């Protein structure tokens, strides 16, 4: 297992290197000039040239790339072109809201989706199963921003239970923190509840037809014990896989959700950096998201051996 983890970590190095090259090339080849954004519409050509020299944008692209790679090797993510703040500090400052939103979303999704998927598999073809599947299709089909605006309309504007936008840290009070995250969590979790519930149902239905399930029933085990003790454990590999995929997909969902609810997290920082053509921030965030994706895949692959001892690396 240790050798497998080391091999995967080593294999992640060329992946991250390729991501770095692609991101750098795309940002430099797409239209837009950070100097023009900073200087404004009334800036002269001389002023733009001066800003480019200060930022290092007047150098050849290959030189800019090698300078950036050298900074990365030293652990330096660079400095924001717009604010002059170190990118690492910006990420640390914005990580709290995003981490809280991701943890609350995936926790709520798993706590809701697993029981729904198990119940749907247990009552296959019955009214409960059809209701769960219809709800899952609806939740997976409606875009996150549509769900978010509907929740704001009902629970914020009509009922006044939750704030429309904004984020409160736990230091400002636990209740204020929970209220500020409730609607974003509900909006973002609808997709993942639907996804995890459907895969859970399908996996358990497949397992329920196996011989060891019939043997467990023949021994007199109650249906609850068969479902939770035998079927769920043996169906855990695809369920863990889809949960891992869901965590990775949260990256895109966080960008939309934080923009709708005006949460000062990494997703909102991505939008601000893209609009401002802030190259160092965009590059650092994409590399961070790529690393998180690789790390999640490694954790999921490692968990396979826990749920299925037949899997060995």
> Span 228-253, mean pLDDT?
75
Q: Has residue 45 got a pLDDT over 80?
A: no
Q: What is the largest CA-CA distance in the chain?
A: 86
Looking at per-residue pLDDT, the higher value among 292 and 50 belongs to: 292
Structure tokens of 99? 């981490």
**Best-predicted range by mean pLDDT (35-49, 97-111, 242-256, 273-287):** 97-111
Mean of all residue pLDDT scores within the chain: 80
Q: Residue 136: what pLDDT?
A: 80
Tell me the HSE value of 189 on the side-chain side, using a 13 A CA sphere: 21
Q: Rounded to 5 degrees, what angle do the CA atoms 163, 169, 172 make? A: 85
Q: Residue 185: what pLDDT?
A: 92
Q: Residue 196: what pLDDT?
A: 87
Structure tokens of 257? 């959700």
Question: For 169-211, how does the pLDDT look when each residue is reduced to its tens digit (9 = 90+)?
Answer: 888 888 888 888 899 999 888 888 888 888 888 888 877 766 6
> Span 39-61, mean pLDDT?
69
Question: For 131-178, how does the pLDDT look when each residue is reduced to its tens digit (9 = 90+)?
Answer: 888 888 887 788 888 888 899 999 988 888 888 888 888 888 888 888
Q: CB burial class (10 A; 0-12, 13-18, 19+) of residue 95?
A: middle
- How would residue 47 be classed by pLDDT, with cut points 50, 70 and 90? low
Q: What's the whole-model pTM score?
A: 0.80
Place of tokens 């005006």: 262
- 4-8, 105-109, 194-198, 199-203: which has the minimum mean pLDDT? 4-8
- 22-36, 62-76, 107-121: which has the minimum mean pLDDT? 22-36
Name all domains of the chain by residue range, CATH numbers in brackets.
Answer: 2-73 (no CATH), 95-307 (1.10.3720.10)
> DSSP letter string over the chain?
-HHHHHHHHHHHHHHHHHHHHHHHHHHHHSS--HHHHHH-TT--HHHHHHHHHHHTTTS-HHHHHHHHHHHHHTT---B-TTT--BHHHHHHHHHHHHHHHHHHHHHHHHHHHHHHHHHHHHTTTSHHHHHHHHHHHHHHHS-HHHHHHHHIIIIIIIS--S-SS----GGG-HHHHHHHHHHHHHHHHHHHHHHHHHHHHHHHHHHHTSHHHHHHHHTT--HHHIIIIIIHHHTHHHHHHHHHHHHHHHHHHHHHHHHHHT--SHHHHHHHHHHTT-HHHHHHHHHHHHHHHHHHHHHHHHHHHHH-TT---
């Amino acid at each position: 297992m240790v050798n497998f983890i080391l091999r995967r970590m080593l294999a992640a190095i060329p992946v991250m290197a390729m991501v770095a090259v692609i991101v750098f090339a795309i940002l430099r080849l797409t239209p837009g000039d950070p100097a023009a954004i900073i200087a404004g519409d009334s800036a002269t050509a001389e002023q733009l040239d001066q800003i480019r020299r200060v930022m290092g944008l007047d150098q050849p692209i290959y030189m800019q790339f090698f300078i950036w790679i050298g900074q990365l090797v030293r652990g330096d993510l660079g400095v924001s072109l717009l604010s002059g703040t170190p990118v690492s500090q910006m990420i640390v400052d914005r990580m709290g809201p995003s981490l809280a939103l991701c943890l609350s979303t995936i926790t709520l999704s798993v706590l809701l989706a697993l029981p729904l998927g198990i119940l749907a598999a247990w009552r296959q073809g019955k009214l409960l199963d059809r209701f769960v599947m219809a709800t899952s299709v609806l939740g997976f089909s409606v875009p996150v921003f549509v769900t978010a605006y509907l929740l704001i309309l009902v629970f914020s504007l009509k009922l006044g239970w939750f704030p429309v936008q904004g984020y409160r840290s736990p230091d400002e009070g636990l209740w204020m923190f929970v209220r500020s995250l409730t609607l974003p969590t509900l909006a973002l979790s609808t997709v993942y509840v639907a996804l995890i519930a459907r895969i859970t149902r399908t996996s358990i239905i497949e397992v329920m037809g196996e011989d060891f399930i019939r043997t467990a029933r023949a021994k007199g085990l109650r249906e609850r014990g068969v479902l939770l003790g035998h079927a769920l454990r043996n169906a855990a590999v695809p369920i863990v896989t889809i949960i891992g995929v869901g965590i990775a997909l949260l990256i895109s969902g966080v960008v939309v959700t934080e923009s709708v609810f005006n949460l000062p997290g990494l997703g909102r920082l991505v939008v601000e950096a893209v609009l401002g053509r802030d190259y160092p921030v965009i590059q650092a965030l994409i590399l961070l998201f790529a690393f998180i994706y690789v790390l999640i895949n490694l954790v999921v692959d490692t968990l396979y051996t826990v749920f299925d001892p037949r899997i060995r690396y």
